[in-house]
Amino acid sequence: MTELAEGIAAGGAYVDAGGLHVWYTERGQGPPLILLHGGLATGGMWSEPAVEDLARDYRVLLPDSRGHGRTANPAGTLAYGQMADDVAALAAALGLERPLVLGYSDGAQIALELGLRHPGLARAMVIGGVVISPSEAYLRMVGELGFPQRGKADLDEVERAMGDWWLTLRAAHHHAQGDDAFRAYLEAISELWYSVPDYTDAQLSSITEPALVIAGDRDDPSLDDSLRLYRLLPRGELAVVPKAGHGAGEKPIFWALVKDFLSRHSHPKATDA
């Protein structure tokens, strides 16, 4: 109860989403827009200028995903389908009617699962920096981040890979303080990252929500996967951010493209009935 009271005072709150106490903050008014952060990040790590800009036109909701930030992980394991169910439960708990959803990196994986598991829930989705198969390039990248195999994490290598972000990362996850708890958190992340499904064409083409697929032109392996996904989505759009890797979301042009897409899909139309 103390943590809950302190959180509300800090500008956020917990909501019971299907039995999971999800921490979230929100800004602005208008059509609801859920931002799903990447792995190892939190809802509070989105670009402040970008969030403030979006909040001029939208009710922007910034949850901490299961096992991240202030949202605990009672199950002890992480899976993208499970995290998509959490988003659906969050939308129901807050009474959000067909929210817009923007996911980047792990958030994009969750958005993809949301489209598969909860068709029609989102009005439209932005899917950024996604991967749709456990390719050799993807698995090599995961290994280089300090996760040598499924369910394993080398803390020294993760610290090296994170560089200056390491201390911020350690402090941000309130449920995983202490070395043992943080190691368990990273091992759950490793399990999650090695469990990316090898999606079939039939699965991906079944997602009927309007979707902007966006990636950096130097984001290997996401760029090739993004192109394949765009070609399969019935209502897909594609944007490629120039001179950008997996950090494409840090570029102003990324947010300009996102805002253009959202503006075209943020209000109900007669065909939505």
Residue type, 75: A
Residue 88, domain member (yes or no): yes
Q: What is the dihedral of CA 175, 181, 182, 183, to 10 degrees?
A: -150
Whether 6 is covered by a domain: the verdict is yes
- Per DSSP, the residues of 15-39 read EEETTEEEEEEEE--SSEEEEEPPT
Does the structure show a pLDDT above 50 at 1?
no
Q: Is the pLDDT of residue 162 over 70?
A: yes
Mean pLDDT of 41-67: 97
Helices first, then strands: H and E counts in the chain:
11, 8
In a domain? residue 45: yes
In a domain, 140, yes or no: no
pLDDT number for residue 271 = 41
Position 126 in a domain:
yes
The number of domains in the chain is 1
Is residue 179 left, alpha or beta, with left meaning phi > 0 and alpha meaning psi from -120 to 50?
alpha
d(CA 22, CA 164): 28
Which residue segment(s) compose the domain that 77 sits in? 2-131+200-266
In angstroms, rounded to a whole number, what is the distance separating the alpha carbons of residues 244 and 81? 28
State what percent of residues in the chain have pLDDT above 70.
Answer: 95
Q: H or E segment at 173?
A: none
Q: What does pLDDT average to over the chain?
A: 93
Output the domain CATH number for residue 207: 3.40.50.1820
Q: Does residue 67 sit within a domain?
A: yes
For residue 23, tell me if it sits in a domain. Answer: yes
For the cut 80, the answer to whether the pLDDT of residue 270 exceeds it is: no
Q: Which residues contact 209 (CB under 8 A, 6 or more apart)?
A: 115, 119, 120, 122, 123, 124, 125, 235
The verdict on residue 253 lying in a domain is yes
Average pLDDT over residues 69-83: 95
Report which residue type is found at 221: P
Tens-place pLDDT, residues 18-37: 999 999 999 999 999 999 99
Q: What is the pLDDT of residue 11?
A: 75
pLDDT at 5 over 80: no
Q: How many CA atoms lie within 13 Å of 60's alpha carbon, on the beta-carbon side?
A: 24
* Residue range 227-244: mean pLDDT, rounded: 98
* Residue 170 reports pLDDT greater than 60: yes
Asked if the peptide bond before residue 221 counts as cis, ω within 30 degrees of 0, the response is yes
Q: What is the mean pLDDT of residues 104-127?
A: 98
Which residue, chain included where needed, has tokens 């209000």? 267
